[in-house]
Amino acid sequence: MPLVTMTVNGTAVSAEVEARTLLAEFLRNDLEMTGTHVGCDTTQCGCCTVHLDGVGVKSCTVLAVACQGAQVLTIEGLATGDALHPMQAAFREHHGLQCGFCTPGMIMSALDMVRRKGHDLDERLVRHELEGNICRCTGYHNIVKAIQAGASAMKGA
Amino acid sequence: MYDFQYLRPATVDEASRVLATQPDARPMSGGMSLLPATKQRLSHWSAIVDLGGVAGLDEIRMEHGALVIGARARHVSVLSSSVVRAAIPALAELAEGIGDPLVRNRGTIGGSVANADPAADYPAALLGLGATVVTNHREIAADDLFTGLFETALEAGEIITAVRFPVPKRAAYAKYRHPASRYAVVGAFVAETAEGVRVAVTGAASHVFRVPAFETALSKSLSQDALVGVTPAYGDLNADLFASSEYRAHVIGEMVRRAVQACLHPSTPSRNA
C-alpha cells in the first residue's frame, strides 16, 4: 500500500493507506480524529470540510494519497488549549448549532469564507457562500449570525 | 469505491504514456466529478492518473487577442481572475455558479470539459463562444469536442492542456439550476461573436448543443423581440425526475431569453441564485 505523509494540525503524520482511502477516512480511521464528520459522502453536505494547504475542501472528495506533503487543518486544530478559536466561540455565543453534526464543517467553511471574502460579511453573502454546507436541523439563522460575528471577532485576533 | 493504482506523474507526457497504454486508467484533475462517480461505483479504474503533480497548466492569460485558460485552472481562479473579468465577464460569472465554494476551490476547467457531464456549465461556454481545446496532441474546436453523454473526441492518452476562447462582443450565461446539485436543469450561453450570434444549451440533452433557429433569429437582431415566434425543433431532450422534455424545451427558450436580456443589460442577474 502507498505510504502517505502529511502535516495535520502542525503534526507530521504518516501511514500506509489504500489508494482509494479518502482524506476524511484517513483523518477519522487512521488518525482517529473524528471531529471531521461525513454526512452525505456525495460531496454535497460539507460536514467533512477541512483546509488543505490553506484552502477549504470537502475531505470526502480528496484522496489521502493526493495529500502527500500537504498541510491539513481540521476542526481539532483550531482551539489553543482550552481557548476556543474566535469562530468556535461565536458559534457557542450565538447558538449556531442544534445537533452539532454539521458544525465542524460549518466552522471550517466559515474560515475559508473569511479567507476569501474578508471580515465584514453581510448576511446575504454568508448565506450565498454557505451553499456547500447543509444543516439538517435547518438552523441556518444562527449559523449565519455566528459566522458574521466570528469573522468580525477574528479581525482583532 | 473499488481500489485502483494511484499515479502522480510530473509531466503531461508521462501521464499520456500511462493513459495510452492502460485503457482503464483515468486522468484526474480536481476530482470533483471523478471521485463522486467512482465512490458510487458508477465507474471502475485500473489506475487514477492524478494531474495534480503537473506544474504550469493553470495559467490564465491573453494571447493574440484570445483568452487562454490553463486546463488546471480552478473554478475559483477563473471567477476571481481580473483577466477573465475584463475579457469575458460571462465566463467568470459562469464559473461562480458551479457547485459550491468548496467545489470551486478544487474543480478545474480542463476536468469539467473532459468529463463532459451533460449538465455541466463549462461546455456551454466552450460551445457558445466557439472555443478551441488545446491538447498535448492537437487543437479541437468545441463544435467537434462534445460527442455524447460523458463522451468527447479526446483519444486515449490525450490530455487537455488549455482552452482558448475568442473574445465576443458580448455574452451571457443563464442557468436554471437544480437546487441541490447546482447542475443545470437547463443552461443557455448566448454570445455575439464576429461571425454572428451563437447559442449553446447544456443540461437538456445527452450533451451540449447549439440551437440554429435561435442563432439565425438573434444574428439578425440581438433582442428579445427576435425570439418571438421562434420555436426550434429539438431532438431527444432529457426527461427525468426534475423536468420532463416538454418542460425543458420551454425552459431552454426562457434561459435564452434571460441570457439575451443579460447581454443587453449586463447588470441584470442572469443566474437564479
- CB contact at 8 A, A92 and B136: no
Share of chain A above pLDDT 70, in %: 99
The per-residue pLDDT for B273 is: 41
C-alpha distances (whole Å) from A52 to each of A8, A48, B65, B106 are 9, 12, 35, 10
C-alpha distances (whole Å) from B96 to each of A101, B74, B79, B91, B92 are 28, 11, 5, 9, 6
Q: Examine the pLDDT at B270 and tell me if it is beyond 60.
A: no
Beta bridge partners of A12: A7
In 3D, which of A136, A35, A146 has the Cα closest to residue A86? A146
Chain B positions in Cβ-Cβ contact with residue A54 (cut-off 8 Å) = none
Task: Return the SS3 of A56.
Answer: strand
Contact B101 A41 (CB under 8 A): no
Grade residue B8 by pLDDT with cuts at 50, 70 and 90: very high
Write B144-147 long-range contacts (CB < 8 A, 24+): B145/B113, B145/B116, B146/B116, B146/B207, B146/B208, B147/B207
Q: Which domains does chain A have, with CATH numbers?
A: 3-77 (3.10.20.30), 86-156 (1.10.150.120)
Q: Does A129 touch chain B (CB under 8 A)?
A: yes
Mean pLDDT, rounded, for B4-22: 96
For residue B79, the number of C-alpha atoms closer than 13 Å in the C-beta half-sphere is: 20
Helix axes A103-117, A140-156, angle to 10 degrees: 50
The per-residue pLDDT for A1 is: 87
- Cα separation, B11 vs B159, in Å, equals 11
Chain B: give the shortest CA distance to residue A56, in Å.
6
Residue from B1, B3, B6 whose CB has the most chain A CBs within 10 Å, to mutate:
B6
Contact A41 B39 (CB under 8 A): yes
Chain B positions in Cβ-Cβ contact with residue A19 (cut-off 8 Å) = 3-6, 48
**Backbone angles phi and psi of B91, in degrees to 5:** -70, -40
In 3D, which of B94, B144, B143, B145 has the Cα closest to residue B115? B145
Measured in residues, chain A has a length of 157
Chain A positions in Cβ-Cβ contact with residue B76 (cut-off 8 Å) = 116
A vs B, Cβ pairs < 8 A, gives 78
Q: Examine the pLDDT at B43 and tell me if it is beyond 70.
A: yes
Chain A: give the shortest CA distance to residue B45, in Å.
11
Q: Which domains does chain B have, with CATH numbers?
A: 1-54 (3.30.43.10), 56-264 (3.30.465.10)
For A46, the closest of B35, B102, B106 (CB atoms) is B102
The per-residue pLDDT for B262 is: 97
| Owner of C-alpha cell 470551486 | B104
The per-residue pLDDT for B235 is: 87
- CB contact at 8 A, A48 and A67: no
Contact A132 B50 (CB under 8 A): no
Grade residue B181 by pLDDT with cuts at 50, 70 and 90: confident
